[in-house]
Amino acid sequence: MTLITVAAVAIFLATYFVMALGRLPGFQLDRAGAALLGAALMVGVGVLSPGEAFAAIDAATIALLLGMMVVVANLRLSGFFHLLTEWVGHHARHPLLLLAGVVVVTGVLSAFLVNDAVCLAVTPLVSDVLLRLRRDPLPYLLAVAMASNAGSVATITGNPQNMIIGSLSGIPYLHFAIALTPVAVVALVVVWAVIVVVHRRDFVGAPPVAITDDTPLVYHRALVIKTVIVLALMVVAFFLGAPVSEVAVLGGAYLLLTRRVKPDKVYGSIDWPLLVMFAGLFVVVAGLEKAVLGPRAIAAIGGLNLAAVPVLAVATAALSQLVSNVPAVLVLRPFVAPLADPTRAWLVVAMASTLAGNFTIVGSVANLIVVQQARAAGIAISFWRYFAVGAPVTLITLAFGIFWLGWA
């Protein structure tokens, strides 16, 4: 084993160690910083040349994520999310219907928009509605987190790991949606049902609910209409087979052409650290592949029967819990591509890496966003109260996903 190989392995392990913990102990280095540092070290020690490092970054994935973030930022600034949550709060007359409304709205939005951004926009609004109704917001906030993960399974634009998979696999948007929408629908039903069972005192025999105050709706009608039309046209283009990243960038760029919203407000809503993390991880994984994962190593690990849907699903879910879903997808890339049926394998990875995010409170970025936003509103979501719902939701939905992609 050469010094370059040892260095590549050490950089990879150190980077993924920080990915697993979220921050380097004793330092302020977060996941994005660790990915950037790891990428720089891969070049600095000679594992990759600068040209190889830049070539490793999947520009299509970065462009897709950036474009969708611009669209979500405009929806948020226009008041679109406020309109939806207020509508649900005024029309759902029973806690069971209110929970269903939260699950459906969050899940459907997350199917077409980046689920992390949806949680960032929806969580404070749901908290406000439930506090005004004088009801415990915890079950409904759990629904936001878990429905965002469940709904995002359905499409390539639902979450960051699906975006990477869509770019790496070349699976058409329509094919991806046809294969995984049934999993998303069943997962949303499971989220609703498990929350009702675990928190049955909040729902069984509960009196009707209704918002009675006259809190004014703050939204910009023209911007709502413009952004929704642009989003609808983008989704149509996705399903018609247009290049997803190009459509997302064009849609996002067009929305920046406005007299109503200052660009700084849009830029402030973009998750720049996530984009940095993506770019860095592409380089780190490319360095590991070049230095360590030759054809023989890939064939040896591939011999663990990853072609079997249950094996690949469980391995993906476990790895996603260990280092988070985006890093897990990237590290699985060299082992999935050579499989006999890579399309189905990538769909399994998308399903398992996303649904595994519901297992614990730290299982996905969406969960952490909900927890942080809830804390800002004075609402605490503990690890174990989340786990009481998240664990059964994850096990049931993963079992269905394995059945659907493996035997249905």
Helix H or strand E segment including 201: none
What pLDDT score was predicted for residue 107?
Answer: 96
Structural contact between residues 177 and 155, judged by C-beta atoms closer than 8 angstroms: yes
- Is it the case that residue 142 has pLDDT exceeding 80? yes
What's the whole-number mean pLDDT along residues 68-83? 91
Element (H, E) at 199: none
Range with the largest mean pLDDT of 105-119, 122-136, 180-194, 350-364: 180-194
pLDDT value, residue 93: 78
DSSP 8-state secondary structure symbol assigned to residue 357? G
| Tens-digit pLDDT profile for residues 159-186 | 999 999 998 899 999 999 999 999 999 9
The pLDDT of residue 249 is above 60: yes
What is the domain range of residue 212?
Answer: 3-406
**What's the pLDDT tens digit per position in 387-396?**
999 999 999 9
154 confidence band (pLDDT: 50, 70, 90): very high
Confidence band, pLDDT 50/70/90 cuts, at residue 212: low
Tokens of 149: 């993960």
pLDDT winner (highest mean) among 26-40, 146-160, 212-226, 372-386: 146-160
- Indicate the SS3 state at residue 152: helix
Residue 362 is predicted with a pLDDT of 80
Question: pLDDT digits over 269-281, tens only?
Answer: 888 888 998 899 8
Q: Provide, rounded to the nearest whole percent, the portion of the chain with pLDDT above 90.
A: 52
Mean of pLDDT values over 152-162: 94
Q: How far is CA 367 from CA 75, 346, 382, in A?
A: 21, 24, 12
pLDDT at 306: 75
Whether residue 355 is predicted with pLDDT greater than 70 in this model: the reply is yes
DSSP 15-63: HHHHHHHSB-TTS--BHHHHHHHHHHHHHHTTSS-HHHHHHHS-HHHHH
Please give the model's pTM, rounded to 2 decimal places.
0.88
User: Residue 331 above 90 pLDDT?
Assistant: no
Could you give the number of structural domains in the chain? 1
